[in-house]
Amino acid sequence: MTNWLFRLPALLLAWALSLTAALAADSAAAPAPFEEGKDFVRLAAPVPTSVPDKAEVVELFSYRCPHCYQLDPTVQEWLKRKPDNVVFVRLPVSAGYHADYEPAARTYYAVEALGALDRVHAPLFEAIHRDKRTLTNVDEYAAFLAEHGVDRDAFRKAYQSFQTETQLRRGNQLARRYGTRGVPAVIVNGQYEVRSPRMFEVVDVLLAR
């Protein structure tokens, strides 16, 4: 009995070492949840974020894009659990796309300036893709937005404003710097483009780096 008690610490140590080795082997054997080059890629050159002391997620999109419409509910769910230290930026694209993309991008910036974005964001998507409304120019957008309480004259003024022109130009410049191949596209911290169907799971992993 005494000899067994003396041997107990050595037995416990051996057991602990074997358990540690087994866990390490399991960890080494387990594949990474997402792979660089497959689920996400590094940008050719990092792009500065909008708020230097915070993490940033940028969604490049267009109201005209059917895949952006399909992704939007996932975006909305992720925003409910977005960490407080993460800035989320929507970036409507237009340069290099169909002509209808520019009026859609101008509309985004205009309603944002008028403080109506949260109210009309989902209805804009639904009008174009679910209801098949014809929204291709300032008159059609103004008429639609008036149905949702946005003043027509105020919208027209914002749509054609210097601020909207500046944002449109800056957005197109950023899209070119990101080097994305289409929309929707998601950029994390100005360094990674996500290319996985499990887009916001990859976003969470990249934000944790």
| pLDDT per position as a tens digit, 133-148 | 999 999 999 999 999 9
Domain locations in the chain as residue ranges? 1-30, 40-207
Contact 135, 141 (CB under 8 A): yes
* Of the candidate ranges 8-12, 34-38, 205-209, the one whose mean pLDDT is the lowest: 8-12
40-207 homologous superfamily: Glutaredoxin (3.40.30.10)
Contact 138, 156 (CB under 8 A): yes
| Phi, psi values for residue 37, rounded to 5° | 95, -15
Could you give the CA distance from residue 157 to residue 153 in angstroms, rounded to a whole number? Answer: 6
Contact 39, 202 (CB under 8 A): yes
What is the percent of the chain where pLDDT is above 90?
Answer: 81
Which residue in the block uniquely carries the two structure tokens 């866990």?
Answer: 23
| pLDDT per position as a tens digit, 22-74 | 444 444 445 568 999 999 999 999 999 999 899 999 999 999 999 999 999 99
Choose among 139, 170, 175: nearest CA to 156: 139
Mean pLDDT over 185-206 rounds to: 97
pLDDT of residue 6 exceeding 50: no
> What's the whole-model pTM score?
0.84
Mean pLDDT over 87-97 rounds to: 95
Could you give the CA distance from residue 205 to residue 40 in angstroms, rounded to a whole number? Answer: 11
